[in-house]
């Protein structure tokens, strides 16, 4: 990039950003010059993440928020704009997983996963979109998964949430593209984070959080006349 700070003056909001993929995305966008707003459910973990970003000179606002709670979502959107300014980049990264044979899962399991991975994305994007529409600019990036394309035993609820997220992303893109807003989905394979279910895979060969952050950086710096609507990421070697 010719400009070392291509996002100077822009505001990025990243959910689920106290660790793992979300934190890597926040670090990358902040290093590119963006002011970042980060949220997570656990206040202590979130504050540690924010302190780490501030220690290296990043401009960050941190606010605990639960993406299953409408009041938290509305407050997060309003406080981010009040503290940093209108959101230019929204990264819907917060996600949870419940794994096991579908017939052994409960209604509470279903609600916990779908409310976070799908409903929360809908509600937060809906809060942020009007401001982007008024300015005819913006990026909304939804962190989906290859589980949104490939079924596997024990993944019924998680896969349902990610298949739904891809459908939501595609429709959001069609609704917002006329307003100069690009909506994209990133579909990583297994990423070596605390979130990943127990596996025998070699963590060193798995995708790393920074790999996803690199793709986000590419999306928010792409040429103005086009947009990458969906990106699949796999490790170069099978773990």
Residues with catalytic function = 158
Contact between 22 and 15 under an 8 Å Cβ cutoff? The reply is yes
Coil vs helix vs strand at 177: helix
Residue 25 β-bridge partners: none
Closest residue by Cα to residue 188 from 139, 235, 233: 233
| Residue 139 CB partners (closer than 8 Å, separation 6+) | 88, 89, 90, 181, 182, 183, 184, 219, 220
220 — phi, psi (to 5°)?
A: -85, 0
- Inter-CA distances, 29 with 7, 58, 185, Å: 7, 10, 17
- Inter-CA distances, 111 with 75, 160, 163, 168, Å: 22, 12, 16, 17
The pair of three-digit structure tokens given for residue 155, joined into one six-digit string: 């993944």
Contact between 100 and 154 under an 8 Å Cβ cutoff? The reply is yes
Cα 146 from chain centre: 15
14, exposed or middle or buried, with CB in 10 Å at 0-12, 13-18, 19+?
buried
């Amino acid at each position: 990039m010719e400009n070392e700070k291509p996002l100077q003056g822009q505001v990025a909001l990243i959910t689920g950003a106290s660790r793992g993929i979300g934190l890597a995305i926040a670090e990358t966008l902040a290093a590119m010059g963006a002011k970042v707003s980060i949220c997570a459910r656990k206040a202590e973990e979130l504050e540690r993440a924010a302190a780490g970003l501030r220690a290296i000179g990043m401009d960050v606002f941190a606010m605990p928020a639960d993406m299953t709670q409408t009041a938290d979502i509305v407050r997060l959107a309003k406080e981010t704009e009040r503290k940093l300014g209108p959101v230019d980049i929204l990264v819907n990264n917060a996600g949870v997983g419940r794994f096991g044979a579908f017939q052994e899962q409960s209604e509470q399991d279903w609600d916990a996963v779908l409310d976070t991975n799908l409903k929360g994305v809908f509600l937060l994007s809906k809060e942020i979109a009007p401001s982007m529409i008024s300015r005819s600019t913006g990026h909304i990036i939804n962190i989906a998964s290859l589980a949104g394309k490939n079924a596997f035993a024990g993944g019924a609820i998680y896969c349902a949430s990610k298949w739904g997220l891809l459908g939501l992303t595609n429709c959001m893109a069609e609704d917002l593209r006329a307003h100069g807003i690009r909506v994209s989905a990133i579909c990583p394979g297994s990423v070596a984070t605390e979130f990943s279910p127990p596996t025998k895979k070699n963590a060193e060969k798995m995708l790393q959080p920074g790999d996803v952050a690199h793709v986000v950086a590419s999306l928010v710096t792409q040429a103005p006349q086009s947009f990458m609507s969906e990106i699949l990421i796999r490790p170069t070697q099978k773990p």
